[in-house]
Amino acid sequence: MNDHDCRGKDIVRHHPPPNVEFRTKALVALLLVGFVPTFSILFSLKLSDNELHSQAFFIACKAWIFILPTYWFLRIEGNDISQSLPSREGLRMGAATGLGMTAIIVAMWLFLGDSIDSEAMIVQLEETGLTDIRLYIAGTIYWIFLNSLLEEYLFRWFITTKGLELLGSEKGAILLSSILFTIHHTLALHFFGFEIWQTVVASFGLLSAAAIWSWLYIRYRSIWVCWVSHAICDVAVFAIGYQIIFT
């Protein structure tokens, strides 16, 4: 989404007025979607023993975090459908940040990879079916090309924008969206068997990456710029996952 096209109101560049009703609506919007990815992780990896139920809840959560922001933007706020076509500068910055973060991910893997309990992680992944090479490849394609785009749509466009409306601060909006993005990933790392220090290190990296992506959105007002950066990082993550599981 491109907030610049939103009926001439550039709510990314200009702070909203200190209106209680305006900020209350933003808070409601955030509460309706901000913690849904966390609920999905908790239910799928911790609370449910039924694979069918876990998958159904996972799909329902993904549908909710796509439909609710769209409905809110078009119906509740009364905006028109807008595009967020990226600029060349934005795409270059997205690629540069993605490659830079990928270099850090690979370096961390080379230095700390031996400390990961691969066997425990594989046992946990067996419950998801991702130890089957065909499912792993399908999952990789899904997470790189669809899930990462959906996360940019939710966290970088909707949550960052609503955070700005609520807090009236770009830094505050970046921090809020980054924290909400990091929470459910941190839980996933914990449930997959990472030690506490490993989870802390990885979570700091996730928080930093999320902050960069939110900053990219505010600067270029295009989720495609953020997605390019995010997708490049995911390629490295799933390449490492392949090394852990299949080699």
Domain range annotation of the chain: 3-246
- Rounded to whole angstroms, what are the CA distances from 130 to 84, 139, 185? 33, 8, 17
Tokens representing residue 92 in the block: 């270059």
| pLDDT for residue 247 | 84
Segment 181-205, tens digit of pLDDT:
999 999 999 988 889 999 999 999 9
- Under a CB-based contact definition with an 8 Å cutoff, are residues 98 and 230 in contact? yes
Measure the CA–CA gap between 151 and 165, rounded to whole angstroms. Answer: 20
- Rounded to whole angstroms, what are the CA distances from 234 to 4, 38, 137, 241? 28, 19, 13, 10
- The H-or-E segment that residue 54 falls in is helix 51-71
Collapsing DSSP to helix, strand or coil, 130 comes out as coil
- Is the pLDDT at 45 greater than 60? The verdict is yes
- Is the pLDDT at 73 greater than 80? The verdict is yes
Q: In the block, which residue shows the tokens 């130890």?
A: 131
Q: In the block, which residue shows the tokens 């939110």?
A: 214
Residue 216 contacts by C-beta under 8 Å, 6 or more apart in sequence? 90, 93, 94, 97, 156, 225, 226, 229
Average pLDDT over residues 57-82: 94
Phi, psi of 59 (to 5 degrees): -65, -40
Measure the CA–CA gap between 186 and 214, rounded to whole angstroms. Answer: 18
Segment 2-34, tens digit of pLDDT:
544 443 344 444 454 558 889 999 999 999 999
pLDDT > 90: percent of the chain: 72
Measure the CA–CA gap between 150 and 184, rounded to whole angstroms. Answer: 15
Average pLDDT of the chain, as a whole number:
90
- Under a CB-based contact definition with an 8 Å cutoff, are residues 194 and 116 in contact? yes
| pLDDT for residue 5 | 43
Residue 214 contacts by C-beta under 8 Å, 6 or more apart in sequence? 155, 156, 160, 173, 174, 177, 178, 226
Segment 200-229, tens digit of pLDDT:
999 999 999 999 999 999 999 999 999 999
Dihedral sign, Cα of residue 133, residue 134, residue 136, residue 137 = positive
- Is the pLDDT at 59 greater than 50? The verdict is yes
Q: How far is CA 11 from the centre of its chain?
A: 22
Helix, strand, coil fractions of the chain, as percent rounded to 5: 80, 0, 20
